[in-house]
Amino acid sequence: MHVAIIGAGYAGMAAAAELAARGVRVSVFEASRTLGGRARRVEAHGHPLDNGQHILVGAYAELLRLMRLVGADPQALLERLPLSLLYPGRMALRAPRLPAPLHLAAALFAAKGLSFGARLAAVGFMRAMRQADFRLARDISFDALMARHGQHDTAIRYLWAPLCVSALNTPPSEASAQVFLNVLRDSLAARREASDLLLARTDFSALFPEPAERFLLARGGELLRGSAIRSIRRDPYGYRLEGDPDRRNYSHVIAAVAPYHLTRLAAGLPRLEPLFEDLAGFAYEPILTAYFGYPQPVTLPAPMVGVGGTAHFLFQRGAAIVSAVVSARGPQLELPREELLARIQAEIAAVAGPSPAPAWTQVIVEKRATFACRPGLRRPAAETPLANFFIAGDYVASDYPATLEAAVRSGVACARLVR
């Protein structure tokens, strides 16, 4: 048995680690020189930044398990903060260290900036969803869900919509209410630790993909960087990959590339029309991250601060580095670069106090950061009509939106399908 994995993003490296742990022979092919795919290190201005600011939550059980498996200690690499949402001067919600579900009820009841009616409606919404087991008879949009449950404008603006947009990366009018509820069920409505925010102390190549590579190599596997696979062919002995310098046969292939790369990669394989049809139904949403490097420390009032203006959230990235995130489509992405940066700089100064002009800035736009998570979207299964050819990635059928946790779960599921 020899498994080829195409793509060393979080899904591919999860599959590789899981298979290597079982003693299966694995070769990973990665087009880029940097591991991590859509969550990877980008060196800029002498700093190891990322292609985009990422956050994890305590509910990412599979990613945390895999980090431990490959020797990347979550306690050392992640800063764990109790759930808190802070919009300075407008709204503040913080979960106390109480057992679930008291932590959430207390957080909602004590939220500052929400009227008594808004808080009551929010608690009622969570109770109703819990009673319904977080299941909808028919998927609708996030906006329709909020209207159906009488949520107040302020609670939507400062609580539910920011959670929806940061998890689903899809405008609230188009976002799937069912997937939003799946996220609520496993984070806010689960164990208290599941709702914790986890902020990386390192970049996202070093967080998991690079330790996973070391784990793989120590178990006899191989990882070829800068090796783009152009196509996959099947022959009586298994699979061959065009672009594999050794031109070997593989018993199994796991294609762990983004959905928009899969159609071309797998075009030469038979019987995959249903998969290609599903892939044609996907649309994509961008994420913009702007980094501001200052000549002296600039301190935000919390490690993660809601803005809800030009930027959606600001993050303290280091003593003198702040990152700003704009999720999903929106008018911000049309702004001239200078204006975008000036507006965000004013938003940083408004919460951090008078700040010096940044010494450097770096804007990264990922145009196809995630798939648009819309109601009723059909997502393909990991198993394909072709024996021993599997697909892994954040877009593969699951309860979750396009996230690191969805990606690693799908990689692990593929590894388990390899027999």
Ligand X SMILES: Cc1cc2nc3c(=O)[nH]c(=O)nc-3n(C[C@H](O)[C@H](O)[C@H](O)COP(=O)(O)OP(=O)(O)OC[C@H]3O[C@@H](n4cnc5c(N)ncnc54)[C@H](O)[C@@H]3O)c2cc1C
Q: Is residue 39 part of the contact set for ligand X (CB under 6 A)? A: yes
Min dist CB 57 to ligand X, Å, is: 8
- CB 18, CB 211: distance < 8 Å: no
On the 0-12 / 13-18 / 19+ scale of CB atoms within 10 A, 296 is exposed
Cβ closer to ligand X: 85 or 118? 85
- CB 360, CB 373: distance < 8 Å: no
Query: x/- contact string, 207-246, with ligand X (CB under 6 A)?
Result: ---------------------xx-----------------
- CB 260, CB 368: distance < 8 Å: yes
Q: Is residue 160 part of the contact set for ligand X (CB under 6 A)? A: no
Q: Is residue 152 part of the contact set for ligand X (CB under 6 A)? A: no
Supply angle C-alpha 178, 7, 202, rounded to 5.
80
Q: How far apart are CA 141 and CA 376, in angstroms?
A: 10
Q: Is residue 261 part of the contact set for ligand X (CB under 6 A)? A: yes
DSSP label at residue 235: E
Cβ closer to ligand X: 114 or 203? 203
Q: Is residue 171 part of the contact set for ligand X (CB under 6 A)? A: no
- CB 308, CB 300: distance < 8 Å: no
Select the residue interacting with ligand X from 129, 216, 393, 415 (CB under 6 A).
Answer: 393
Q: Is residue 161 part of the contact set for ligand X (CB under 6 A)? A: no
Residue 177 CA, distance from chain mean position: 18
DSSP label at residue 112: B
Select the residue interacting with ligand X from 139, 222, 366, 383 (CB under 6 A).
Answer: 366
- Strand 78-81 to 197-200 pairing: antiparallel
Select the residue interacting with ligand X from 289, 345, 388, 398 (CB under 6 A).
Answer: 289
Q: Is residue 265 part of the contact set for ligand X (CB under 6 A)? A: yes
Phi-psi region of 401 (alpha: psi -120 to 50; beta: other; left: phi over 0): beta
Min dist CB 180 to ligand X, Å, is: 15
Task: Convert 254-292 to b/e letters by CB count within 10 Å (16 or more is b).
Answer: bbbbbbebbeebbeebeebeebeebbeebebbbbbbbbb
Select the residue interacting with ligand X from 3, 4, 9, 87 (CB under 6 A).
Answer: 9
Select the residue interacting with ligand X from 394, 398, 414, 418 (CB under 6 A).
Answer: 394
Of 120-128, 244-252, 273-281, 365-373, the segment contacting ligand X by CB under 6 A is 365-373
Min dist CB 393 to ligand X, Å, is: 3
Q: Considering only residues 82 through 141, tell me which ones interact with ligand X, judged by CB under 6 A.
A: none
One DSSP character per residue, 385-412 reads SSTTEEE-STTSSSSS-SSHHHHHHHHH
Min dist CB 149 to ligand X, Å, is: 26
Cβ closer to ligand X: 13 or 118? 13
Q: Is residue 256 part of the contact set for ligand X (CB under 6 A)? A: yes
Both tokens of 145, joined, read 């869900």
Select the residue interacting with ligand X from 3, 4, 11, 391 (CB under 6 A).
Answer: 11
Q: How far apart are CA 393 and CA 406, in angstroms?
A: 7
Q: Is residue 8 part of the contact set for ligand X (CB under 6 A)? A: yes
Q: Is residue 54 part of the contact set for ligand X (CB under 6 A)? A: yes
Residues that bind ligand X (CB under 6 A): 6-12, 29-32, 37-39, 51-52, 54-55, 228-229, 256-258, 261, 265, 287, 289, 366, 369-370, 393-394, 402-405, 407
